[in-house]
Amino acid sequence: MSFERAYRRGDSGPAVAEIRAKLARLDLLQVSPEALSPLASAGSAGFDSALFDSAVFDGDTDSAVRAFQQQRGLTVDGVVGETTYHALDEARWRLGDRILSYVAARLLAGDDVAALQQRLLDMGFDCGRVDGLFGVETEQALREFQRNIGISADGTCGPATLKALNQLARTVVGGRPHAMRESEAISRAGPTLSGKLVIIDPGHGGPDSGVGGHQLGEAVLVYDLASRVEGRLTATGSAAFLTRGPDGGLDEVDRANFANAAGADLVISLHVDAHSSRRAAGCSTYYFGNDRIGHHSVVGERFADLVQREVCARTDLGDLRTHPKTWDLLRRTRMPAVRIELGYLTNPGDAARLSDPAFRDVLAEAIVAAVQRLYLPPDEDADTGILRIPALRSAMTR
**pLDDT (tens digit, 0 to 9) for every residue of the chain, 398 residues total?**
556 689 999 999 999 999 999 999 999 998 876 655 544 444 334 444 555 567 999 999 999 999 999 999 999 999 999 999 999 999 999 999 999 999 988 899 999 999 999 999 888 898 988 999 999 999 999 999 999 999 999 999 999 999 999 888 655 555 566 667 777 888 888 888 999 999 999 999 999 999 999 999 999 999 999 999 999 999 999 999 999 999 988 999 999 999 999 999 999 999 999 999 999 999 999 999 987 766 889 999 999 999 999 999 999 999 999 999 999 999 999 999 999 999 999 999 999 999 999 999 999 999 999 999 999 988 777 788 788 776 555 444 44
Cα 341 from Cα 192, distance rounded (Å): 27
Domain at 182-396: CATH code: 3.40.630.40
Position 341: which residue type?
E
Domain at 111-175: CATH code: 1.10.101.10
How far CA 216 is from CA of 220, 269, 357, in Å, comes to 8, 19, 13
DSSP code for 170: G
Position 159: which residue type?
P
Domain ranges of the chain: 14-91, 111-175, 182-396
Say how many C-beta atoms besides its own lie within 10 A of residue 261's C-beta: 8
Cα 78 from Cα 64, distance rounded (Å): 8
